[in-house]
Amino acid sequence: MSSFPVPLLFFFFSSLFVSSVLSDQAAFSSHLLPRPLILEQTQLSQFDADELTLQCTSWRVAGEANNLNPWKTIPDECLEYVRGYVNGKGYLVDLQRVADEAVAYAKGLQLQGDGKDVWVFDIDETLLSNLPYYKDHGYGAEVFNPVDFDMWVDKATAPALEASLKLYQQLLDMGFKIILLTGRSEAQRAVTDQNLRSAGFQSWDRLILRATEDHGKLAATYKSEKRDEMLEAGYRILGNSGDQWSDLLGWPMSTRSFKLPNPMYYIS
């Protein structure tokens, strides 16, 4: 995707962007790819609150359905919308629904009980919530700063996503082996272990973090390779929960995948 002819795209999209966005070159260049917000070639100020909610909901749903091209920041126009969503009931209801659907699916499975029935979990925004960090960093409106984020990770104070914690315990009780597969670095193993335990996740089969040789890989590539290693080791990946499509897509895939909501950031 890095070979995209950006100048041509810029020309193409210029007719789709409202002038207030176009004039903000800093915001524009912060996008990996320009994302038209489809504001129908009129001024943002002409939209009332309901219309902006509709547009931002549409943007959020497109992200959840994996329809959006790669993006680096949320649309400026949707900052208040995202703030409201992640701090409000909508996010909690969505998280609970995904967990409930996962439980319903899991209960319908016949586990073989040989210790090879696996459920894979991502960690950030899947088991642990970094919302306290993102509250201080614009809910995804600021370009991701890995140095700042690693300082936050080192605190090991990210709370559990409650719906996921309950799902996690239910899956353990059903007999699933849990494998944690995260984009975090091997250097963050100790703080990640500490944070998971203090947040209530007490037991897992393996915690896989990025080794040195994994650091240059796309998340989807790294995670697919790790899933392939699980199959090679005789595991059956029956469920996979993640907040990014790069947690879920790629060969091999889990029998069922569950996409947790995340309107704040995108990882390829």
The interface region with a copy of itself, picked from 7-15, 147-155, 182-190, 207-215 by CB under 8 A, is 7-15
Does residue number 190 form part of the binding site for a copy of itself (CB under 8 A)?
A: no
Phi and psi for 167 in degrees, rounded to 5?
-60, -45
Considering beta carbons, is residue 157 or 170 the nearer one to a copy of itself?
170
Is residue 261 a contact point for a copy of itself (CB under 8 A)? yes
> Which pair of tokens denotes residue 36?
């038209």
Q: Which of 29, 41, 42, 101 binds a copy of itself (CB under 8 A)?
A: 101
Does position 24 bind a copy of itself by CB under 8 A?
no
259 binds a copy of itself (CB under 8 A): yes
Q: Decide: is 1 part of the binding site for a copy of itself (CB under 8 A).
A: yes
Size of interface with a copy of itself, in residues (CB under 8 A): 49
121 binds a copy of itself (CB under 8 A): no
Query: Binding of a copy of itself at residue 233 (CB under 8 A)?
Result: no
231 binds a copy of itself (CB under 8 A): no
* Span 33-62, contacts to a copy of itself by CB under 8 A: 33-36, 38, 54-55, 57-62
Judged by CB under 8 A, does residue 89 bind a copy of itself? yes
Shortest distance (Å) from residue 5 CB to a copy of itself: 7
What is the 3-state secondary structure of the chain?
CCCCCHHHHHHHHHCCCCHHHHCCHHHHHCCCCCCCCCCCCCCHHHCCHHHHHHHHHHHHHHHHCCCCCCCCCCCHHHHHHHHHHHHCHHHHHHHHHHHHHHHHHHHCCCCCCCCCEEEEECCECCCECCHHHHHCCHHHCCCCCHHHHHHHHHHCCCCECHHHHHHHHHHHHHCCEEEEEEEEEHHHHHHHHHHHHHHCCCCCCEEEEECHHHCCCCHHHHHHHHHHHHHHCCCEEEEEEECCHHHCCCCCCCCEEEECCCCCCCCC
Angle at 127 between CA 220 and CA 177, to 5 degrees: 80
64 binds a copy of itself (CB under 8 A): yes
With binding defined as CB under 8 A, does residue 68 bind a copy of itself? yes
Point out which residues bind a copy of itself (CB under 8 A): 1, 3-5, 8-9, 12-13, 16, 33-36, 38, 54-55, 57-62, 64-69, 89-90, 93-94, 96-98, 100-101, 104-105, 107-108, 110, 249, 251, 253, 257-259, 261
